[in-house]
């Protein structure tokens, strides 16, 4: 039933969704079963992996559609029942045993039902399969603190996929080449033909001197796109604090002889 192992860590967004979902389920469960239930008395936090209780077998709810493990360490159902029911006397031993068994079974059933699993199997206490132990196989685990009682809960990838399904992948729509590159930045150079000057004017230049060419102010500039040569003629203008040009003409690019 659990031999079909799949490698694949759960993404952070799905881990966050699983944390919120399991925290809500555990809170509702504690309100129903714990006599000492109170606000802020329950803490649920994500674990990198089940920390262990390695020497103690967890309670397992195994199903073809997904599995979960409840690690209670050395605590048996009697201890869990006594904590939940708030009793310590030997006379309540049978009650504590029943409460512990039914409470754990109810917790597993709540999570499985939330995952859409209708008929659930009875809890068994045995070694956990690898799919419930390793994040690389898609396992997800949380640490649970209910008052002074602490345990851990882990789910496998199958159950995780049912509780927080992966977002349906959508194939990216193809767009035209022009649309795809229209936001790409290109450097544009506005080049001015300054004209000719006497060699004597260039022989002894100093800061502050004015160099006068033979071109008039109203002559057009040449606009060059980096790597493509001249593409247009334009006149220099100003827009606020920025340089601007007003196009005067567009140069048609000659096609390559290889095209």
**SS3 sequence of 112-129:** HHHCCCCCCCCCEECCCC
Q: CA 188 to CA 138: how far, in whole Å? A: 52
Which of these, 22, 221, 225, lies nearest to 108 by C-alpha position?
22
Neighbours of 131 (CB within 10 A): 23
Given 2.60.40.10, 2.30.330.10, 3.30.360.10, 3.90.120.10, which CATH number is that of 183-195+213-253? 2.30.330.10
**Would you list the domain boundaries of the chain?**
12-163, 183-195+213-253
What percent of the chain stands above pLDDT 70?
85
Q: CA 67 to CA 50: how far, in whole Å? A: 15
Which of these, 235, 253, 233, 254, lies nearest to 243 by C-alpha position?
235
The answer to pTM > 0.95 is no
Cβ-contact 234, 221 below 8 angstroms: yes
Q: CA 121 to CA 62: how far, in whole Å? A: 7
Considering the domain 12-163, what is its CATH architecture?
A: 3-Layer(aba) Sandwich (3.40)
- Give the confidence band of 230 by pLDDT, cuts at 50, 70, 90: confident
What percent of the chain stands above pLDDT 90?
39
Q: Is 208 left (phi over 0), alpha (psi -120 to 50) or beta?
A: left
Mean pLDDT of 197-215: 76
Q: Return the residue matching tokens 């102010």.
A: 217
Beta strands of the chain (E only): which ranges?
42-47, 59-61, 68-71, 124-125, 140-146, 149-155, 188-191, 221-225, 229-239, 242-250
* Residue 75 predicted with pLDDT over 70: yes
Same fold yes or no, 12-163 and 183-195+213-253: no
Residues 139-171: pLDDT tens digits? 999 999 998 899 999 999 999 999 999 875 445
* Residue 2 predicted with pLDDT over 50: no
């Amino acid at each position: 039933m659990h031999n079909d192992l799949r490698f694949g860590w759960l993404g952070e967004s799905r881990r966050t969704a699983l944390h919120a979902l399991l925290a809500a389920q555990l809170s509702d469960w504690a309100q129903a079963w714990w006599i000492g239930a109170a606000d802020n008395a329950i803490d649920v936090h994500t674990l990198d992996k089940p920390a262990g209780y390695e020497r103690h077998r967890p309670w397992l709810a195994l199903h073809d559609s997904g599995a979960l493990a409840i690690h209670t360490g050395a605590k048996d159902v009697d201890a869990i029942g006594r904590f939940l029911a708030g009793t310590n006397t030997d006379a309540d031993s049978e009650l504590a045993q029943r409460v512990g068994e039914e409470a754990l079974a109810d917790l597993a059933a709540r999570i499985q039902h939330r995952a859409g699993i209708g008929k659930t199997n009875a809890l068994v206490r045995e070694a956990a399969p690898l799919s419930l132990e390793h994040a690389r196989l898609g396992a997800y685990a949380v640490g649970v603190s209910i008052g002074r009682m602490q345990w851990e809960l882990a789910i496998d990838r199958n159950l995780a996929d049912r509780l927080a399904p992966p977002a349906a992948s959508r194939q990216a729509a193809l767009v035209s080449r022009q649309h795809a590159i229209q936001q790409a930045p290109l450097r544009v150079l506005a080049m001015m033909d300054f004209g000719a000057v006497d060699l004597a004017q260039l022989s002894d230049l100093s800061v502050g001197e004015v160099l006068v060419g033979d071109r008039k102010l109203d002559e057009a500039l040449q606009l060059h796109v980096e790597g493509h040569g001249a593409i247009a003629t334009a006149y220099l203008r100003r827009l606020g604090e920025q340089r601007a040009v007003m196009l005067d003409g567009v140069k048609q690019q000659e096609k390559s002889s290889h095209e």
